[in-house]
A and B are shown apart, each in its own frame.
Chain A
Amino acid sequence: MTNYVKYPLKAIPISVQQSLKVVTAMPRKPIELPQIEYMSILDEDAVVDKALEPKIAEEELKNIYRYMLLARRTDERMLMMQRQGRLGTFPQSSGHEAISMGSCIHLKKSDWHVPAYRELAGLLYRGWSIDSTLLYWNGYEEGARPPEGVNDLPVCVPIASQLLHAAGIGMGMNLRGEKGVVMTYFGDGASSEGDTHEAMNFAAVYQAPVVFMCLNNQYAISVPLSKQMRNATLAQRAIAYGMPGIRVDGNDVLAVYVAAKEAVERARAGEGPTLIEGLTYRFTPHTTADDPKRYRSEEECNLWTKREPLNRFKKYLLNKGVYTEAQLTDLEEELDAEIKAAIARTEAAAVSEELSNPLAMFDYLYADMPPYLNEQREELKSHLDKQKAKAGKSPQHASGTAR
């Protein structure tokens, strides 16, 4: 078993170790298991641990911050739009930017990015437009079409199911003898699904080059982590699968960066999968339809909101002289304009003939349209034509915009 004690930080005792030692009937030897390390480099007051601080080029630091900030501001704007009835229900990504960007920054375009649904920062970094996010959460299939030039799967709503696809992609790389990395994401709630177990086991058995990034935000809607599992960490499950695992401060982009870099290097070198648990907090509701006051205290939420990842990283960059205050103000303005332009573009596109045509629902079900499905398409077309004739205008306009 790989000994993953590269960062001699606070070790978390694992209960399985203790229980294995309680053997009385015969003289047995306890099984030595590696401990799970916890890594944090940049704390909530932006104090950096110099011994562990990674050397990151200035351009890369700027890139990480840019996409974390773009995701945060987009998420905030989306919340306003949702409250105004201009967007559907969506899960907010605020607070999860460090895990997303600290990990996917290590991917090449040819590597695979397999998200769950709180990795907006990573999606934007990988080349998904703000428009596609707005379209997806506003009920347009076009928002799930991955951009050209990268190997990305779209967001995945059925919990944990994407992890198996990630494992399969990694297995494919091995079977074909091709070098690549698959970075995939899931939450603490997802860790309870059978798919998670199967994906990690497959990846380990086939030594697939997969990095399993867990966004442990401590709640599965209302169910706290303590009711989701009895183990002290999610990372320790890696031991059982025979892969390295580590818990990092998921609000510390430097810690995520360091752990993910090593995992990606191992994967690329043919050394198999890794599990990285990023401990963070969902300081927003689960989705815009959720009310967290029903299941957790404001004190707890305030405590964790202070630990969020963006602010401490901003202070770090200012302290380091990567940015000046004036430059950050300019960046905010630049991103704000980018978001506003995307919203205007998307709202115009939503009522265009191309995106509002209901017949598009038949277009991509199969490579070739079966005759019977074509008959159904014609049936809907004729119904819409009759409606149009009756209303004297196009059915799309007759029934309002897509909101």
Chain B
Amino acid sequence: MALMNMAKSINLALFEAMERDEKVIVMGEDVGPDEGVFRITEGLFHKFGEKRVLDTPLAESGIVGTAIGMAMYGMKPVCEIQFSGFDYYSFHQLECHASRFRNRTRGRLSVPMVMRAPYGGGIRALEHHSESREAIYAHTPGLKVVIPSGPRNARALLHSAIQDPDPVIYYEPKAIYRLFKEEVPEKMETLPIGQSNIVKEGKDLTIISYGASLRAALEAVELLEEEDGVKAELIDLLTIAPLDATLIVESIKKTGRAVIVHEGPRTCGLGAEVVARVNEAAFLYLEAPIRRVTGFDTPIPYFSKERFYLPDAERVVAACRETLSF
């Protein structure tokens, strides 16, 4: 076991994956000698050299498009897009190609690649550096989307993503890169894609979240217990596409009430999908409408006001109380 933060554990996963499989290569802007703007590729260029760690020209579509080519050629590219706010340049390649090659070639070709990108707000970044648009990818058939919430699951999920036979979007909540440390086992581990996790068991209410918002949800769970004596169950989605609602449905059958928390915009966000799944599978168990505590349907404001946009524990607690007293 070693104590490390999430930036380090993602770096560790890249290092381990490159050591065990020479097909794995890392590519992106400034991932070489500069070791990435968040230092996630630290030490990789030094260890594996320029044939495995590619400092690319500044072109997101180029990075993802050529990664698709390499993946079909038999390699395992792990691309880094410097900030998720710039992955719209490459969205076309993902939507029209990465997500479709297996389907349109009737299984003859496939695109086993990973696109990593730091996403989300909370670090006082400049314009276009704080977006949370994971729902766009979750809405794209053929892509898998995973979002870690801490050092241990970040490393395990990245291994699963790299080993996956299909394209995986690996969104890194940058606000928690160095927020806290966690014990990470010596031995390499994976975490199945498509599996959510019960972070804390409870009986009165289910809170569903993922990524950096999980911190606000966790804080809310503690506040509710302290101030209201409420035992909330907290679920971390981890994979938002393909979404497996089994745990959520089981939990709501037990609690009858739920609140979903995410920082991306509300309309057509993950909250909407969760509500629909619960309606389909557990409608008669609901004691109250499911509440969504999310970013608003505006671009995330520049950083002087981002804290009003991002869900915090106070907003989560307020929504939980309304749900509980319905």
Which residues in A have some Cβ–Cβ distance to B below 8 Å? 88-90, 136-141, 144, 157-159, 189-190, 192-195, 220-223, 227-229, 287, 289-290, 294-295, 350, 356, 358, 360-362, 365, 372-373, 376-377, 380, 383-384, 386-387, 399, 402-403
Contacts and interface: CB of A to CB of B under 8 A. Distances in A.
Interface residues of B, number: 42
A158 B86 contact: yes
A139 B304 contact: yes
A190 B305 contact: no
Contacts of B303: 88, 139
B35 interface: yes
Given A221-B29, A360-B301, 11 more contacts: A89-B125, A89-B126, A139-B303, A157-B126, A158-B85, A159-B86, A220-B29, A220-B57, A221-B30, A221-B37, A361-B309
B219 interface: no
A317 B158 CA distance: 59
B58 A227 contact: no
Interface of B: 29-30, 32-35, 37, 55-62, 85-86, 89, 124-129, 266-267, 296-299, 301-309, 314-315, 318
Given A228-B57, A358-B305, A361-B301, A376 B86 contact: no
Contacts, number: 125
A361 B308 contact: yes
B34 A222 contact: yes
A157 B127 contact: yes
Nearest to A190: B58
Secondary structure class of chain B's binding surface, majority of residues = loop
Nearest to B124: A88
Nearest to A364: B298
Most buried by A among B35, B61, B296: B296
A221 B309 contact: no
Nearest to A137: B126
Contact of B308 (A195, A227, A358): A358
A158 B86 CA distance: 7
B79 to A, nearest CB: 15
Nearest to B125: A89
A157 to B, nearest CB: 5
Contacts of A88: 124-126, 303
A159 B86 CA distance: 9
Contacts of A229: 57
B297 A372 contact: yes
Contacts of B315: 383
B130 to A, nearest CB: 10
Nearest to B309: A361
Contacts of A193: 58-61, 89
28 contacts: A88-B303, A89-B125, A136-B127, A137-B126, A138-B304, A144-B127, A157-B126, A158-B86, A159-B86, A190-B58, A192-B57, A192-B58, A194-B59, A194-B61, A194-B62, A220-B29, A220-B58, A222-B34, A227-B55, A295-B33, A350-B304, A358-B305, A358-B308, A358-B309, A361-B305, A365-B297, A377-B296, A386-B318
